[in-house]
């Protein structure tokens, strides 16, 4: 069974054993003959994939009224995977979604590492530092690098910890954020597992 999580920059495949990425600008989805179960946040590609009968959009098997209209399908699938957790998906944006007793409570969007570093750099060349993920967030900073690292990380940390729920990290920068959220679990297969769950729940129709 081939699964595919499509973002704005890449097709992320999982063939049951291995996961691999293909660039959206060069990969041709019609080159695949087998059945591909997918979710897609990329509107242009979405239209194209609708015309390919072997690409099955799993989004249609979600009860969308639990979520909000403009919420990304990748966030929805991450939320569908858990019962009680704060899910932090750390990529170009950091999305933070709260699930309690299997119910989506709500979520927010925070800039990703590179986007936020660029922001500080644009405010002033004097703030052009990499974030220090080893910075002690229990101590108020007394140097410029820690002042921006703390500004980016401690603010996020305070909000996330206030929910008093287990924390699940996913996305390309999950391991960086685990330095801050030391008790968090990294689950890089969160969305693929959720896709498998949805397929199992709908196997009469899908398989």
* Residues recognised as catalytic: 74
Q: Classify 181 as helix, strand or coil.
A: coil
Q: Which residues of 118-132 are buried (b: 16+ CB within 10 A; e: fewer)?
A: eebeeeeeebebebb
Footprint of a second copy on this chain (CB under 8 A)? 8, 67-71, 92-93, 96, 98, 105-112, 115-116, 118-120, 122-124, 126-127, 139-144, 146-148, 150-151, 154-156, 158-159, 162
Rounded Cα gap, residues 88 and 22, in angstroms? 24
Long-range pairs, 176-184, Cβ under 8 A, ≥24? 176/90, 176/113, 176/133, 177/88, 177/90, 177/94, 177/133, 179/133, 179/134, 180/133, 180/137, 180/153, 180/156, 181/88, 181/157, 184/88
- CB of residue 76 vs a second copy: minimum separation in angstroms? 12
Which CB atom, from 54 or from 119, has the smaller least distance to a second copy?
Answer: 119
- CB of residue 111 vs a second copy: minimum separation in angstroms? 5
- CB of residue 11 vs a second copy: minimum separation in angstroms? 18
- CB of residue 127 vs a second copy: minimum separation in angstroms? 7
Which CB atom, from 83 or from 109, has the smaller least distance to a second copy?
Answer: 109
Which CB atom, from 96 or from 195, has the smaller least distance to a second copy?
Answer: 96
3-state secondary structure 161-174: HCCCCCEEEECCCH
Rounded Cα gap, residues 123 and 126, in angstroms? 9
Which CB atom, from 56 or from 82, has the smaller least distance to a second copy?
Answer: 82
Question: Which tokens belong to 121?
Answer: 């750099």
């Amino acid at each position: 069974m081939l699964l595919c999580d499509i973002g704005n920059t890449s097709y992320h495949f999982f063939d049951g054993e291995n996961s691999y990425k293909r660039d959206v600008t060069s990969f041709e989805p019609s080159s695949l003959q087998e059945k591909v179960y997918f979710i897609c946040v990329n509107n242009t590609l979405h239209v194209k994939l609708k015309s390919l009968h072997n690409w099955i959009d799993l989004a249609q098997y979600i009860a969308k009224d639990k979520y909000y209209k403009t919420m990304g399908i990748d966030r929805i699938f991450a939320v569908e995977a858990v019962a009680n957790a704060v899910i932090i998906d750390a990529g170009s944006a950091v999305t933070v979604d709260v699930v309690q007793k299997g119910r989506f409570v709500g979520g927010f969007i925070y800039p990703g590492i590179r986007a936020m570093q660029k922001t500080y750099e644009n405010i002033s060349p004097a703030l052009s530092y990499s974030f220090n993920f080893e910075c002690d967030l229990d101590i108020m900073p007394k140097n410029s690098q820690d002042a921006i690292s703390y500004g980016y990380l401690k603010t996020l940390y305070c909000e996330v910890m206030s929910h008093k729920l287990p924390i699940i990290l996913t996305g390309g920068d999950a391991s960086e954020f685990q330095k801050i959220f030391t008790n968090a679990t990294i689950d890089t297969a969160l969305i693929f597992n959720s896709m498998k769950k949805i397929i199992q729940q709908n196997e009469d129709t899908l398989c």
